[in-house]
Amino acid sequence: MSGVVVLKTAEAVERTVASWRSRGHSISLVPTMGALHEGHLSLVSIARKRSKRVIVSIFVNPAQFGPDEDFSEYPRTFEEDREKLSRAGAHAIFLPDEHMIYPMGFSTSVLVSGLTESLCGRFRPGHFNGVTTVCAVLFGIVRPDIAVFGRKDAQQLTVIRRMVRDLHMRVQVVSGPVVREPDGLAMSSRNRYLRTEERRQSTALYRGLCKAAELVSDGERNADRIVGRAMEIIDSSPLVMVQYIELVDPFSLKPLLRMKRKGLLAVAASVGETRLIDNIMLGPEGAIEEE
């Protein structure tokens, strides 16, 4: 297989990056946990348009999983991932093991307060500390010009942007849109856990978000009514158990009482034993796309 190089150590990444930079190449990083789907590959496409060289990291990060979460069961499909990344035009895969990222004596944690206590943070304590810490490590090793993240993980994207801003990290954070299946379900590595009827009912999440967008486009601005209408749609699917659904400010992630300009409508739910998240950005005309 040609076109994509697998790098397993920080030293190998640093040598490769130094070689690229000596030729004047700009570099993008796409951090992933593997089990890649079209959503991930769309981020690689964005990265290729923004820079000359693209590194995709694949690391199932134990620090962002809680004790009762699916770390050991999380899908690991490296050979499939490598084939997909080769076809997508990535130039290198950074494939570290846990000891590479967290060597003996590792004792540092990056905490972004104020953005990590709400939404998913209420239900996954420590999750975002694991995300920001591993991203800080990856940024330190790769030193990319650009890092590309998907907007499906909207809270994560906001947290990473705040970390980069507050710590003056010299990386531009670029986002890619939510990529969906034909029936609207947001693509996720965890979708493969869904059984047939669970998969069918999981589309209620997006249908609820779309109904909220329709309400906003008709002039509704009251957050309770917007959220309530979305919840009615989702509740019609008995296998979908909502953990939260909230309309928040897209920058502070604080709850909105009324939509004045833009609002992020975010939802998390369990479908069977699978936890799914989704979101939609709302503006005066309903759903909007955001950079």
Catalytic residue among 40, 91, 99, 168: 40
Are the C-beta atoms of residues 94 and 56 closer than 8 Å to each other?
yes
Q: Are strands 92-94 and 53-58 parallel, antiparallel or unpaired?
A: parallel
Residue among 101, 165, 91 at smallest CA distance from 137: 101
Tell me how far apart the alpha carbons of residues 58 and 227 are, in angstroms, rounded to a whole number.
36
Write the burial class of residue 196 (CB in 10 Å: 0-12 exposed, 13-18 middle, 19+ buried). exposed
Query: Do residues 178 and 39 lie in contact, with contact meaning Cβ atoms separated by under 8 Å?
Result: yes
Known catalytic residue at 99: no
Query: Quick one: which of 252, 261, 244 has its CA closest to 123?
Result: 244
SS3 of residue 185 by DSSP: coil
For residue 59, the one-letter residue type is: F
Report, as residue numbers or ranges, the catalytic residues.
40
